[in-house]
């Protein structure tokens, strides 16, 4: 299979029909409808994007707007978009589409007026799309002009086009921070990486209105595909690292801790230090670090005691150093972290090890990092494996939460009786109708959780906000703390009142708190809310996917009885019903205050 992360744009376009046949034949592709509204023609761009999305597990359907009519189609006549029913609207614009550029003699006092006027036009577009479709909107920010007429003064003077673009991009970022359905694709940075000399294709633009070079189109498409993966919870979660000649220079078993290359004394040592700093930065924003090394465990761990090592053992969420095949160790690490192997990015300097893991575990991302550690950060970054759609408090706490989970596993081994172990954790749950402060986290969780998710329905933040205001719905969140720390917001249940029944549209939970009785506590709270509304029963469905098999038996385990099968449900689905008249609370080992009803 061709690795599209390493292909040139020209090769992809040359082979796109064959690649499309090969990729579209894959099983388990998820449908996604993307409307592309643009200031240029987009057929070639969408052809590249389609291949990248197919490679990411999506089957895209595109609506390509008419040339340079993005404003009209989003604001004045939305009929074509309404017929298409997009999941995502992508505003594929560039600095050529700026309409309120200041004049060269613009004063400092008047500059903000031009910025306000330009932003007001985009606000009309965002408002219209949000009100009409409530879907995710992705918009390019603006690259610097390729030919600034004021030279270096273009970045300084109030009338400079570079200065204006920078001011405009700041306002776009501020707007995205206030509009949860708006994401910004950083074309400004992407164009800098590609180089403005290779960004615009003026000959093709004047002839065919194709604005970007194939190289630029591929860079934008790779970025956009990573954003789609992030929106639907398919970004990678774990950076899995070899040790010798990957995290440090040399072989720890031969050279000893004093002989490995790390620190500032040589160019090689400094390159390894820079890579460790990059890994630590990823951990600080929520990516887990794990080790998979062919080594003696005790010897391998000594490498992290080197005084110049940036990474310490406490930064590693799972550590496997032995002489077993690496693909088997990766599967073991996945089980310990309770994640799928498709959450992993494996970095190893040894090309043979990379090839074996690719062959045995094709779901694992294995970038072709080569042997020069100085290039590792750029190569990993180019793959956009860890692209976030949002950043919330729980992201920054994730690594610490997994470390605390390891302590809980150790604690469990001390008890013969599992109930005594649960009591020893001193667990306290906060379960309540959703509050605005949690809208973003709940939307994020619905798009990430796959294993403990009975229906795998996805919700945007705008949809969560609408459900929270709808009296016919209840949206419950659950937080769990124990003596080892705060697990954060770990569970969401969305119920819909229908006559005398509460239909459970969504029930998900983070696997970090699996088998901790949190599902019982969430059910108790949902029953309380249903009884408060005078309802008689709960009805839930299990819609099977390749990943959520672990919850197939959850409903009967909680006392639900099998209900008649409903039409239009996927094959293998089941329907379950719980009579509330005879229900008794099930939570025994979690402290929970009484529910404040919605």
Residue 391 located in a structural domain: no
- Bridge-partner residues for 496, per DSSP? 473, 503
Q: How far apart are the C-alpha atoms of 54 and 365, rounded to whole Å?
A: 15
Do both 113 and 46 map to the same domain? yes
Q: What CATH code is carried by the domain that includes residue 354?
A: 3.40.50.1000
pLDDT (0 to 100) of residue 27: 85
Q: Is 373 inside a domain boundary? A: yes
Pair 410, 514 in one domain: yes
Max intra-chain CA distance, the chain: 80
| Residue 437 and residue 570 in one domain | yes
377 & 481 share domain: no
Give yes or no: residues 424 and 486 share one domain: yes
C-alpha pair distances (Å), 426 with each of 32, 406, 443, 465, 588 = 43, 16, 29, 33, 12
Looking at the domain assignment, is residue 396 inside a domain? no
Residue 356 lies inside a defined structural domain of this protein? yes
Which residue from 566, 498, 504, 560 is spatially nearest to 535, judged by alpha carbons? 498
Residue 397 belongs to some domain of the structure: no
560, 578 Cβ separation under 8 angstroms? yes
Contact 353, 374 (CB under 8 A): no
Give CA–CA dist 250/260, Å, rounded.
Answer: 5
The reply to whether 310 falls in a domain is: yes
Same domain, 37 and 161: yes
Same-domain pairing of 444 and 361: no
* Domain stops at, among 212, 231, 250: 231
SS3 for 1? coil
Domain that holds residue 180: 9-231
Q: Is 262 part of a structural domain of the chain?
A: yes
How do the pLDDT tens digits run along the chain, 598 residues long? Answer: 567 877 888 889 889 999 999 999 988 888 999 999 999 999 999 999 999 999 999 999 999 999 999 999 999 999 999 999 999 999 999 999 999 999 999 999 999 999 999 999 999 999 999 889 888 999 999 999 888 889 999 999 999 999 999 999 999 999 998 887 899 999 999 999 999 999 999 999 999 999 999 999 999 999 999 999 988 888 999 999 999 999 999 999 989 999 999 999 899 999 999 999 999 999 988 899 999 999 999 999 999 999 999 999 999 999 999 999 999 999 999 988 888 899 999 999 999 999 999 999 999 999 999 989 999 999 999 999 999 876 555 555 555 666 666 666 666 656 667 888 888 888 999 999 998 888 888 887 887 656 778 888 888 787 888 899 999 999 999 999 888 778 888 899 999 999 999 999 999 888 778 788 999 999 999 999 999 999 999 999 988 887 777 788 889 999 999 988 887 888 888 999 999 998 999 999 999 887 665 5
CATH of the domain at 16: 3.40.50.1110
Tell me: do 349 and 427 sit in the same domain.
Answer: no
Please tell me whether residues 358 and 413 are part of one structural domain: no
The pLDDT value recorded for residue 333 is: 93
Q: Do 54 and 120 fall within a single domain?
A: yes
Give the residue from 197, 231, 265 where a domain finishes: 231
- The reply to whether 244 and 227 lie within a common domain is no
Taking the alpha carbons at both ends of the chain, their separation in whole angstroms is 52
Residue 520 belongs to a domain with what CATH number? 3.40.630.30
Q: How many domains does the chain have?
A: 3
What string of DSSP letters covers 74-89?
Answer: III--HHHHHH--SEE
- How confident is the model at residue 179, as a pLDDT? 87
Q: Which residues contact 188 (CB under 8 A, 6 or more apart)?
A: 141, 142, 143, 144, 165, 169
401 within a domain of the structure (yes/no): no
Measured CA distances, 245 to 52, 273, 318, 325, 498 (Å): 32, 12, 19, 18, 61
End position of a domain, from candidates 383, 417, 449: 383
Provide the pLDDT for residue 510: 83
Angstrom distance (rounded) from CA 568 to CA 505 = 15
pLDDT the model gives residue 154: 94
DSSP H/E element including 441: helix 439-448
Helix ranges, 196-264 (H): 202-208, 214-231, 252-255
The secondary structure element, H or E, covering residue 238 is: strand 238-241
The whole-angstrom separation of Cα 397 and Cα 394 is: 5
Verify that 149 and 47 share a domain, yes or no: yes
């Amino acid at each position: 299979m061709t690795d599209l992360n390493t292909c040139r744009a020209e090769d992809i376009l040359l082979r796109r029909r064959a690649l499309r046949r090969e990729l579209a034949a894959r099983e388990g592709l998820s449908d996604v409808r993307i409307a592309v509204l643009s200031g240029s023609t987009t057929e070639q761009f969408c052809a590249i994007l389609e291949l990248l999305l197919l490679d990411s597990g999506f089957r895209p359907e595109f609506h390509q707007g008419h040339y340079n009519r993005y404003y009209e189609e989003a604001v004045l006549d939305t009929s074509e978009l309404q017929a298409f029913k997009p999941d995502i609207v992508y505003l594929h614009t560039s600095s050529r589409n700026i309409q309120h550029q200041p004049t060269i003699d613009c004063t400092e006092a008047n500059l903000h007026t031009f910025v306000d006027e330009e932003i007001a036009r985009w606000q009309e577009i965002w408002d219209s799309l949000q009100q009409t479709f409530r879907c995710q909107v992705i918009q390019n920010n603006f690259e610097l002009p390729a030919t600034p007429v004021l030279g270096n003064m273009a970045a300084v003077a109030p009338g400079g086009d570079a200065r204006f673009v920078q001011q405009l991009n700041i306002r776009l970022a501020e707007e995205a921070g206030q509009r949860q359905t708006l994401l910004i694709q950083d074309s400004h940075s992407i164009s800098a990486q590609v180089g403005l000399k290779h960004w615009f294709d003026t000959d093709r633009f004047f002839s065919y209105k194709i604005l970007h070079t194939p190289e630029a189109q591929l860079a934008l498409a790779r970025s956009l595909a990573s954003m789609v993966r992030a929106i639907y919870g398919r970004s990678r979660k774990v950076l899995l690292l070899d040790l010798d000649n990957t995290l440090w220079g040399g072989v720890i078993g031969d050279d000893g801790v004093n002989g490995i290359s790390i620190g500032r004394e040589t160019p090689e040592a400094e390159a390894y230090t820079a890579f460790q700093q990059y890994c630590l930065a990823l951990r600080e924003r929520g990516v887990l670090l794990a080790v998979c090394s062919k080594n003696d465990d005790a010897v391998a761990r000594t490498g992290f005691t080197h005084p110049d090592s940036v990474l310490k053992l406490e930064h590693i969420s799972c550590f496997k150093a032995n002489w077993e095949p690496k693909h088997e160790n990766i599967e073991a690490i996945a089980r310990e972290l309770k994640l799928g192997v498709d959450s992993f990015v494996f970095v190893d300097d040894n090309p043979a090890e990379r090839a074996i893991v690719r062959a045995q575990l094709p779901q694992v991302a294995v970038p072709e990092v080569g042997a020069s550690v100085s290039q590792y950060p750029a190569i990993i970054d180019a793959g956009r494996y860890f692209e976030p759609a949002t950043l919330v408090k729980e992201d920054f706490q994730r690594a610490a939460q997994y470390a605390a989970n390891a302590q809980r596993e150790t604690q469990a081994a001390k008890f013969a009786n599992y109930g005594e172990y649960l009591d020893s954790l001193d667990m306290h749950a906060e379960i309540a109708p959703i509050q605005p402060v949690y809208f973003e986290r709940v939307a994020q969780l619905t798009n990430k959780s796959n294993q403990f998710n009975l229906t795998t329905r996805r919700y945007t933040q705008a949809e969560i906000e609408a459900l929270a205001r709808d009296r016919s719905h209840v949206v419950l969140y659950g937080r769990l703390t124990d003596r080892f720390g705060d697990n954060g917001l770990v569970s969401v249940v969305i119920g819909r009142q229908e006559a005398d029944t509460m239909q459970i549209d969504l029930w998900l939970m983070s696997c970090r708190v699996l088998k901790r009785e949190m599902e019982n506590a969430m059910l108790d709270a949902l029953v309380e809310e249903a009884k408060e509304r005078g309802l008689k029963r709960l009805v839930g469905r299990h819609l099977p996917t390749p990943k959520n098999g672990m919850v197939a038996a959850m409903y009967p385990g909680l006392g639900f009885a099998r209900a008649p099968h409903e039409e239009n449900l996927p094959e293998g689905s089941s329907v379950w019903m719980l009579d509330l008249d005879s229900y008794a609370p099930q939570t025994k080992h979690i402290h929970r205050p009484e529910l404040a009803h919605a």
